[in-house]
Structure 1
Amino acid sequence: MKEGLIKAAMLIVAALAAAASSPSRAQEMDGKALFLKNCAACHQASGKGIPGAFPALAGNSFVQGKSSEVASVLLKGRGGMPDFSDSLSDRDIATVLTFVRSNWGNKADGLKADDVSALRATLGLDPFGNSVMSNKH
């Protein structure tokens, strides 16, 4: 009986360790949820956008390019796209961009919250949470 409890405890510990060492699945799910909530209305759930109105993110060379340039668009906006600097945390921006840069045939490295925080500072933007919340979206 005691041996069975020890084996069960070891299996639970192993499962938790595997889940902790593989955040990509959880991050992918979070990234997808963030994308659907904040981006899909324009860029579509498929990432194919709306021709002539909203660019496709699927197979987009800019999206797969330099991560700081892609993150800058979310932090500052561009063209008709609003900025998300006041409405998404650095973690959320990194998570959604990691999702976008690795789905629909895109094959680019993800970002970390620290990358976005550093970029925010470089761009002279207030740290997330220090700004008055806006009603941009």
Structure 2
Amino acid sequence: MKFSKPVLLKLKNKNRRLKFNKYKILKRNKLRGKVKGTMERPRLSVYRSNENIYAQIIDDTTSQTLVSCSTLDRSIKLEIKNGRTCEASKLIGEKLAELSLKKNIKKIVFDRGPYLYHGRIKALADGARAGGLEF
């Protein structure tokens, strides 16, 4: 049984016939359809798990990852206790901004994925802004 995206989102409120991951993918694709990264303004994509946070700057025209950073990196892991705090996310944003400025990337498009702009996602964005990136 195949449904269109608007129908699937309406089904979410009516009954729980489809799994949560399917709705998560739909939400991400809905936002991703509007946000595209170019060489002038690459896309900052964020993935948040329960334990860690990952961020990467992507050029969608060539499908290349230009810069990436996560709480699992050795230099960052030494500075933080665990990767699930807002302080760790802010540190990731600052480190990502530092690495991207070395590659002459100053303007980006922020892609939060299926996550709300709140908590760790907001802390990462604030850290990137403090590091010198322009959204």
Q: Report the TM-score when normalising by structure 2.
A: 0.35
Task: Pick the structure with more helix per residue.
Answer: 1
Task: Pick the structure with more strand per residue.
Answer: 2
Structure with the greater alpha carbon radius of gyration: 1
Q: Report the TM-score when normalising by structure 1.
A: 0.35
